[in-house]
Amino acid sequence: MENVNEIKDKIRQRFVKVAIDPTAPQRHPTGPASAKKLGYDAAEIDGLPAVVTESFAGVGNPLGLHEVRPSETVLDIGCGAGVDSFLAARKVGPSGRVIGVDMTAEMVKKATDNAVAAGVTNTEFHQGEADCLPVPDGAVDLVISNGVFNLCIDKPKVLAEVYRVLRPGGRVQMADILLGEAVTEGQVEKKGAWSD
Ligand SMILES: C[S@@+](CC[C@H](N)C(=O)[O-])C[C@H]1O[C@@H](n2cnc3c(N)ncnc32)[C@H](O)[C@@H]1O
């Protein structure tokens, strides 16, 4: 079986490609057309620069699950190129802020550059991992995440981190993919199965 570092490297390589070569064929739907199919408001997506939406790689719409309130601090785990971060930044307004964390350096750079392209000043992007978030305890009102939890190896540790960074009464809005069937031992052992 692959070790944890090999699995993380594969995941990273996949998303480096989505960051730097978004028009190349990807393993799953990406870009603005995919966001619209997943239920995002078309005008909101079209209102972001193409350089922001071209690397969208989400699997749902976490912001559509509940309201995001003015002045809140939002953490976007696995923010990618920042589509959800920028949409949340509009909702929290100038007195709120959005912190994006992603393990792939190319995504963090792209999200940081995208903030300039989109003229957004209440976002910040950091490289980091979901199971060891670079965020203080109780600093966040709302955690959002889109298509990331399924890629995390130690899921209980990620949930513990989410709990740690949320203030009491804070919320989580996550979009992700779920398996409908049990994974067999054989599938677990199969090399490459993790990020295919
Ligand atoms: C499916 S993409 C979704 C990106 C973004 N949320 C979006 O909707 O466009 C998954 C993202 O999570 C990041 N990622 C994967 N595993 C991670 C982890 N353990 N910690 C932090 N980021 C991770 C990847 O680098 C990638 O940018």
Q: Is the pLDDT of residue 48 over 70?
A: yes
Q: Is the pLDDT of residue 2 over 80?
A: no
Residues 6+ apart with CB under 8 A from 92: 68, 69, 70, 71, 72, 73, 74, 98, 122
Q: Which residues line ligand 1 (CB under 6 A)?
A: 11, 15, 56-58, 78-80, 83-84, 102-104, 107, 129-130, 146-148, 151-152
Give percent above pLDDT 90 in the chain. 81
Q: What is the CA radius of gyration of the chain?
A: 16
Q: Report whether 19 contacts 41 (CB < 8 A).
A: no
Give the residue, by CA position, lying nearest to ligand 1 atom 8: 58
- Please give the average per-residue pLDDT across 49-72, as a whole number: 97
Over the stretch 91-137, which tens digit does the pLDDT of each residue have?
Answer: 999 999 999 999 999 999 999 999 999 999 999 999 999 999 999 99
Q: Indicate the burial class of 117 (C-beta count within 10 angstroms; 0-12, 13-18, 19 or more).
A: middle
Instruction: Compute the distance from residue 193 Cα to the ligand 1 centre, in Å.
Output: 18
Q: Is the pLDDT of residue 27 over 90?
A: no
Give percent above pLDDT 70 in the chain. 95
pLDDT band of 195, cuts 50, 70, 90: very low
Q: Is the pLDDT of residue 194 over 60?
A: no
Q: Domains in the chain and their CATH numbers?
A: 4-177 (3.40.50.150)
Instruction: Compute the distance from residue 17 Cα to the ligand 1 centre, in Å.
Output: 12
Could you tell which of 102, 112, 133 is best to mutate to test the pocket of ligand 1, judged by most ligand atoms within 8 Å of the CB? Answer: 102
Instruction: Compute the distance from residue 133 Cα to the ligand 1 centre, in Å.
Output: 13
